[in-house]
Structure 1
Amino acid sequence: MDSTNATALWDRVVGTQPDPTLWLVVATGVVALAAVLPRRVWLVTRNAITIAHEGGHGLVALLSGRRLDGIRLHSDTSGLTVSRGRPTGLGMILTAAAGYTAPSLLGLGGAWLLAAGHITALLWGATALLAALLVMVRNAFGVLTVVLTGAAFVLVSWLAGPAVQALFAYGVVWFMLLGGVRPAFELQAKRRHGRSGDSDADQLARLTNVPPVVWLLFFHVVSLCSLTGGGRWLLGL
């Protein structure tokens, strides 16, 4: 690739693109909501939230100095991230807290990028994160899920026109914001029926001596505040 093409590519990534009209932004939000609310649909689409959840654990584990051994994504939309390091301390606390908050915070960051007109940067950034995650996935279903998700971003980024890219990007961000809210409520329901097992909230309670219900409240606050703030950015309010 010569310098002219490289410069043009860089300008495309860091440049801004036109926003879709307000009614199209609202329409992508409605479609994302339809991918979150119906249970049968959610059983499929929740895999994308699991990718973000486990990716959040993995990323924070690395940033906090822990050794990431691998990530597994399962067909029942559960996942597991294994890291090595001190079993207690701030690094472990941040790693455990990153899972339920990651989808919503990714959605919030995506909304900020879209509000600034950086649609291409969002698509390419998401593709890079998925590629980095793929290296650490250790089971076949997980590899398939991440590859298919990454392929969708690559195809839209390279082959689709600006309008389709914008609709896809807004739909993805809406889905992260809306889909990031539901898992905490699901965990709350499981805890009410005694089926939460060794959840992230339980792990955090052992690490901090703070009751699991407080950590559950923390997950709710992060997801709902991200939805509120990200939604305002997407709608241009």
Structure 2
Amino acid sequence: MAAFAREVWDRITSTQPAPSPTVILATAGLAALLVLTPRVWPFVRHAITLVHEGSHATVAVLTGRRLAGIRLHSDTSGLTVSVGRPRGPGMVATAAAGYLGPGVLGLGAAWLTSRGHAVAVLWVLLLMLVGVLIQIRNWFGLWSVLVTGSALVAVTWWAPEVWQSATAYTITWFLLLGATRPVLELLAHRGPGSDADVLARLTHLPALGWVLVFGAGTVGAAVLGGSLLLADHVR
């Protein structure tokens, strides 16, 4: 067991050379296709929903709320239930975390990959999935997390290093770009129970203002994260 733990730690802390500019641009192009292709987006959007709900859950715990469970649904919607004060900064932060979470996670992943820790990104995502798995409360959510986790385990454990790096770059680009599309969907089809409406009831900022905050945050993360991935590699 100790030898296994050391091997895992060595893999997490090891560095990998940056891919060629061609690979970096190719992974960006692949991620953009996943986000922009109408027939593909409904499938890959489940991954963004998973991060969205995981972000709600993480911030809820960090602000002292008690997490009661996470549900992921086949229509790409989700629900995270936490218990605590119905108003106040903790509730506001928890409600705001969902739409901002994928972009923030993508920005963190971009920082790691830009410093040669592409494989560490995959392991961080695996650890996050384990945390979500513990809180899943429905069968579709369980299936989604297990399928995603199995794919990550296969890549981190058996794929060649070059494919691990390419996968980490693709996931990072996907998080950065994919975080923006749900905000556009929210702007076009905002329902009365959306995070923006919840925040409007909790604060003095109207729902549209919160949608604009989500848009600014996700676009800003995409621009900054993309510049990190491209810096010193693409001239």
* TM tier relative to shorter chain: over 0.9
- Cα deviation, 1:156-214, whole Å, max 9, x if unaligned, reads 000001110011100001000010000110000013xxxx1211000001001211111
- Residue 83 of structure 2: aligned partner: 84
Does residue 154 (structure 1) correspond to residue 149 (structure 2)? The answer is: no
For 1:206 and 1:158, the matched residues in 2 are separated by: 46
1:203 to 198, 201, 208: 198
User: In structure 1, what residue type is equivalent to 2:193?
Assistant: D
2:225 to 223, 230, 235: 230
Q: CA deviation at 1:99?
A: 0.2
User: In structure 2, what residue type is equivalent to 1:228?
Assistant: V
* Identical columns (%): 50
- Residue 186 of structure 1: aligned partner: 185
Q: CA deviation at 1:9?
A: 3.9
State the TM-score, normalized to the length of structure 1: 0.95
For 1:20 and 1:66, the matched residues in 2 are separated by: 41
Q: CA deviation at 1:122?
A: 0.9
Secondary structure in 2 aligned to 1:35? helix
For 1:231 and 1:127, the matched residues in 2 are separated by: 23
For 2:200 and 2:7, the matched residues in 1 are separated by: 50
Secondary structure in 2 aligned to 1:69? strand
**Residue 57 to residue 6, structure 1, CA distance change in 2 (3 Å):** closer
In structure 2, runs of 5+ residues without a counterpart are none
State the TM-score, normalized to the length of structure 2: 0.96
- Cα deviation, 1:92-116, whole Å, max 9, x if unaligned, reads 0000000000001000000000001
- Cα deviation, 1:98-150, whole Å, max 9, x if unaligned, reads 00000010000000000010112111111010011001010000000011111
For 2:151 and 2:87, the matched residues in 1 are separated by: 38
Aligned length: 232
For 1:233 and 1:172, the matched residues in 2 are separated by: 15
- Residue 208 of structure 2: aligned partner: 213
For 1:161 and 1:172, the matched residues in 2 are separated by: 17
For 1:231 and 1:49, the matched residues in 2 are separated by: 18
Q: Matches of residues 1-237 of structure 1 in structure 2 within 5 Å?
A: 1-2=1-2, 6-191=5-190, 196-236=191-231
In structure 1, runs of 5+ residues without a counterpart are none
Q: CA deviation at 1:15?
A: 2.1
For 1:144 and 1:9, the matched residues in 2 are separated by: 25
For 1:123 and 1:224, the matched residues in 2 are separated by: 23
For 2:224 and 2:204, the matched residues in 1 are separated by: 31
Moved over 6 A (4+): none
Secondary structure in 2 aligned to 1:71? strand
For 1:198 and 1:111, the matched residues in 2 are separated by: 32
User: In structure 1, what residue type is equivalent to 2:206?
Assistant: P
Secondary structure in 2 aligned to 1:72? strand
Q: CA deviation at 1:84?
A: 0.4
CA RMSD of superposed structures (Å) = 1.2
**Residue 2 to residue 137, structure 1, CA distance change in 2 (3 Å):** closer
For 1:156 and 1:6, the matched residues in 2 are separated by: 18
For 1:63 and 1:144, the matched residues in 2 are separated by: 26
Secondary structure in 1 aligned to 2:17? coil
